[in-house]
Structure 1
């Protein structure tokens, strides 16, 4: 799940001699809990406004033996990408068989991958992913602006 998006409602049915529930642990900011005592349904819902991993435990309450169940909600930050190799690495002239300086972009947040649209990259140059960074380097066989 991503930050600032509604989560799919999580629903727990409460049975037996339980008269309520207690949540321990933490929920993301913006996520609410509600216990409907008439229908004996516990729900977690809302829109997360904080990222992270949130572990929680729900325990029934009442005069009989109480049971617990664990849960986890993971909220990812929005994806980010930024040039990390310097402004002068994205606009340059290179001639035949000239080496292209590495162009590096760092990705972060909740990014789990990226699509690269090459546009006018010279032939014999390549992109690779290493440690959540994208690199472009190689030699060209044509002389022009990129």
Structure 2
């Protein structure tokens, strides 16, 4: 083999290795690009998921605030209604004709010195003695 053939063969091998090197470099660049795109897609998916979770969290906060306001309104309504109910019960108890008639019955019993129906009166209201002819107020 002559020196010239040797250099030609060396040049061919060098050319072959250069082409192979170029091919490998382009494959490496393509792989890097693919990996970068996958990483970007993964980050975008995570951001999208986080935005969705943030929206759900915001919605839950709003629902919780509305529920708290409704609960507070219900409690205020119950307080007002229970207060109104107690006031109404007090009015009924002190303004009912039944109370007046019972008071009149007791006054008449003391005035006329006659007994009244003890079953409709508690033991604390029953007279222990016969009073003189006085008219008593409501007991």
- Taking structure 1 as the reference length, the TM-score comes to 0.26
RCO greater where, 1 or 2, for CA within 8 Å and sep 6 or more? 1
Greater Rg over alpha carbons, structure: 2
- Give the TM-score normalised by structure 2: 0.27
